[in-house]
Amino acid sequence: MIDDYFDKLKYMKFKRATTQASGDDAGYYSQEAEQTMFGADVYGNEFRVLAAMPKREKNYFMHLMEVKPQDREEVLELVPDNLKDFYVAQWDKMELKEMSENAKDYDEDEFNKRKNMIYNRMRRIRGRRAAERKVFEETASLPSEDWIGWDPRVDLDDIKLQYILQTGRDHHYFDLWDDRIKTLRRKPYLEGATDEISPLGTEKNQMSQVQLYRKAAEYNIQIKKAKINRGSSDINNIELEYQKNRELEDTLRDLGEIV
């Protein structure tokens, strides 16, 4: 929740900056917007796709990309919803590359059918994501126009850290480290920057979510995780340490629970 919220804020920040800038600055801000999870072209360059992901997801992604085609559906059950498009898109690119390199091994009709299927899926995914961004830009409840976080000189990770510290969460989980806390103390202009931040909604809703997930834990709804056997491309070598619903742990962490 928190990562997703700040990712979308970052996207909106640089989209706004793009419209207010010109020349090289506009190009730079446009690229920054595209390097968020929300703004990324999931069919784009693999390294740019990786750069958009939270650090804790990158190792999973690099290894799980290599599973056999028949095991990909199982991988999609493992990964968070906002990453599914990334996996599907990059698998599509791998398949197109393999088809191109081995075109002589395919029947022409089969080759064209598979290629068209992939390109149709590409159009659907890109179109849906573009529509989701448009709806968000037009309807999302965002901080006010004079919010300091919109300033391109302000690093949103500083405001994210400020929010995380204020709400008693573990900043290390969000890939934010102690040296940033030291620099944050030297930025008094960020005081009050989190007043308009509400990634989890109202406190009442937040408490109901905590109660819901605690109840789930009581009933032993376990967490699905993967320990990757480095160098393996077989889903059977991914040891499932927990059963069912990996998102439970992430949600509890987002809500400030210690798991």
**Where exactly are the structural domains of the chain?**
201-259
Q: Where are the alpha helices (DSSP H) in 102-202?
A: 108-139, 156-166, 178-184
Amino acid letter, residue 68: K
β-bridge mates for residue 239, sequence order: 227
* pLDDT tens per residue across span 31-53: 999 999 999 999 999 999 999 99
Phi, psi for residue 233 in degrees, rounded to 5: -110, 10
Higher pLDDT, 228 or 250: 250
> What confidence score (pLDDT) does residue 250 get?
60
Sign of CA dihedral 210, 215, 216, 222: positive
β-bridge mates for residue 226, sequence order: 240
Does the pLDDT value for residue 208 go beyond 90?
no
Report the alpha-carbon distance of residue 75 to residue 87 in Å, rounded: 9
* C-alpha R_g of the chain: 21
Q: How many CB atoms lie within 10 A of CB 228?
A: 15
Residue 61 in tokens: 């992604």
Do residues 89 and 42 touch, judged by C-beta distance below 8 A?
Answer: yes
Report the alpha-carbon distance of residue 1 to residue 250 in Å, rounded: 9
Residue 238's pLDDT band (cuts 50, 70, 90): very low
* pLDDT tens per residue across span 53-107: 988 888 889 989 999 999 999 999 988 889 999 999 999 999 999 999 998 888 8
Do residues 118 and 98 touch, judged by C-beta distance below 8 A?
Answer: no
* DSSP code of residue 140: -
Do residues 104 and 74 touch, judged by C-beta distance below 8 A?
Answer: no
Q: What is the pTM of this model?
A: 0.75
> What confidence score (pLDDT) does residue 202 get?
38
Q: 3-class SS at 239?
A: strand
Q: 3-class SS at 226?
A: strand
Residues 6+ apart with CB under 8 A from 76: 84, 87, 88
Average pLDDT value for residue range 5-25:
93
> Could you tell me what percent of the chain has a pLDDT over 90?
57
